Amino acid sequence: MKRFAGLMRDHIFFFLNGQKIQVRGREALGMLAPFLRRERGLTGTKIACAHGACGSCSILLGRPTQSGFNYQPINSCIFPVFACDGAHVITVEGLNGPDKVGGQDDGVLSPVQCAMVDCHGAQCGFCTPGIVITLTAFHENRVQSSAEDVKAALEGNLCRCTGYSPIIEAGMSVETADLRPLTQIYPPEPLLDGLNAGASDAVEIRVPEDELEIGQHLFVPRSPEEAICWKVAHPEAIVVSGGTEVGVAMSVKGLAPREILSLAHLEDWDEVTRENDELVLGARATWTQVAEQVGAIVPEFATLLTRWGSPQLRNAGTVAGNIIRAAPISDSLPFLLACEAELEFIGELGARRVTVADFLESGPTMRPDELLRRVLVPLPKEGQTLRLFKVSKRRAFDRSIVSAAFLLTASDGVIEDIKIAFGGVAPLALRLPQTEAFLQGKPVNSAIWREAATVAYNEISPYSDAAASREHRTRLVANLLRKFGAEL
């Protein structure tokens, strides 16, 4: 296996509101929002919940593309500073240009800020910078927008006092003709040039232990070989992909990993492609990238993704993080189980494949040297019916109480085959083999789904938690089966 062949940096660099900065040592290992506020004095970025659940800390992350930058809002409270390496970060202070940062504001507001003022879109103002960031990203390169589009864009921004009507009105009444595109405010060429030198270097940052804090060691490889090699040498390292799970643990639960392996620079690990009858999801593909690609391939999954977290979370959270975390309410797992998807891991001994069902049954576990590389999802065939459900307390920006996937093959009114998977009814997502066996060969009529609901009722043994009681979850399983049957 190839060892570290390339060059290595002991720092990260990125552009912040048009200015190139270098970050070294412990500062690179913390979360972006406190870094912006404490180290850079950019206090426009607010921290309210500190765990990705309100959008007050939204900033624009510009990831380099062939021709410029793709700017997306993300939650900076759970986004590690090191993950900004090679990017352009724009905070609310920088929205009107680099010369307006640092107290030299001439009082000129952007059309989004004007709309928020004119529509009385702020009271205490705590959520306002995040909302301005989100609306700026939303209106970039967009000519027309409906109220529904604005609402969807703002799903990740909570406001506790103004009420949403004036904010949505502001979003609708932005004078888009007056909006200067971000590429005009920050012409991409000099930024891309500035990021060029050292762009292909791996990053290794060692922070020695001191009186107050533990020693830490970060590695950001450039190739899978480097990643595996380092993982073999550091089997206890915490892997960070999009960081939305690890970031919460670091931001609010006090996790301070001694060793961190960031996958941020593994090129091609974010592919979302169709290969013959399979959908291939790269481990590092964000849920936004998946949603953009799967609409034409598996529309049912694309629809489910509109209910997945918030736009900010989908812009950071990745496929691998959702699967490896294997939370009972990971929204991808029922879909992957019903489609009998396979996971491809790579490690010291090469690549191996395992079905999602076997992975979950194993613990879920993988070898210490392994990383999840990609997911291969057999696509539903013509004549098969795929339905996905997510039940949560709020329609938008809420975790599932129970989620379900059904993949039905029926012919001449008879069930030839059915795959049923649920999340939120056991410590891990699971298939219901007894219910599936009961349904096989049965006629497709409303009575059969009621009977199947009884079988499922006896097959599962859900848990109670703060989100829902055991009884509620059990009832949801039965009702979702009946709903699936009724909507066929």
Binding site for ligand FES (CB under 6 A): 47-50, 52-57, 75, 77, 122-128, 159-162
Residue 322 in contact with ligand FAD, rule: CB under 6 A: yes
Minimum gap (Å) between residue 116 Cβ and ligand FES: 10
Residue 372 in contact with ligand FAD, rule: CB under 6 A: yes
Closer residue to ligand FAD (CB): 100 or 231? 231
Residue 50 interacts with which of ligand FAD, ligand FES, none, CB < 5 to 8 Å by class: ligand FES
Measured from each CB, the residue nearest to ligand FAD is 321
Minimum gap (Å) between residue 218 Cβ and ligand FES: 22
Site for ligand FAD in 416-435 (CB under 6 A): none
Minimum gap (Å) between residue 404 Cβ and ligand FES: 28
List the one residue out of 255, 254, 266 whose CA is nearest residue 219. 266
Residue 51 in contact with ligand FAD, rule: CB under 6 A: yes
Closer residue to ligand FAD (CB): 240 or 272? 240
Say if residues 164 and 199 touch (Cβ distance below 8 Å): no
Residue 94 interacts with which of ligand FES, ligand FAD, none, CB < 5 to 8 Å by class: none
Choose the binding region for ligand FAD from 62-70, 92-100, 325-333, 427-435 (rule: CB under 6 A).
325-333
Long-range contacts of 251-256 (CB under 8 A, 24+ apart): 251/31, 251/50, 251/51, 251/77, 251/78, 252/50, 252/51, 256/213, 256/214, 256/216
Q: Burial of 54 by CB count in 10 Å (0-12 exposed, 13-18 middle, 19+ buried)?
A: buried
Pairing of strands 259-262, 216-220: parallel
Minimum gap (Å) between residue 226 Cβ and ligand FES: 31
Say if residues 329 and 427 touch (Cβ distance below 8 Å): no
**Binding test (CB under 6 A) with ligand FAD, winner from 192, 205, 298, 324:** 324
Say if residues 117 and 167 touch (Cβ distance below 8 Å): no
Torsion of CA 17, 174, 288, 50, to 10 degrees: 60
Minimum gap (Å) between residue 57 Cβ and ligand FES: 3
Torsion of CA 326, 331, 332, 337, to 10 degrees: 80
Rg (alpha carbons) of the chain, rounded to whole number = 24
Residue 309 in contact with ligand FAD, rule: CB under 6 A: yes
Distances (CA, A) of 144 to 131, 138, 168, 176, 284: 19, 11, 14, 9, 31
Distances (CA, A) of 26 to 208, 213, 263, 343: 9, 10, 19, 34
Closer residue to ligand FAD (CB): 399 or 473? 399
Residue 244 interacts with which of ligand FAD, ligand FES, none, CB < 5 to 8 Å by class: ligand FAD
**Binding test (CB under 6 A) with ligand FAD, winner from 62, 321, 328, 380:** 321
Binding site for ligand FAD (CB under 6 A): 51-53, 238-246, 248, 263, 283, 308-309, 313, 316-318, 320-322, 324-325, 330-331, 371-372, 399
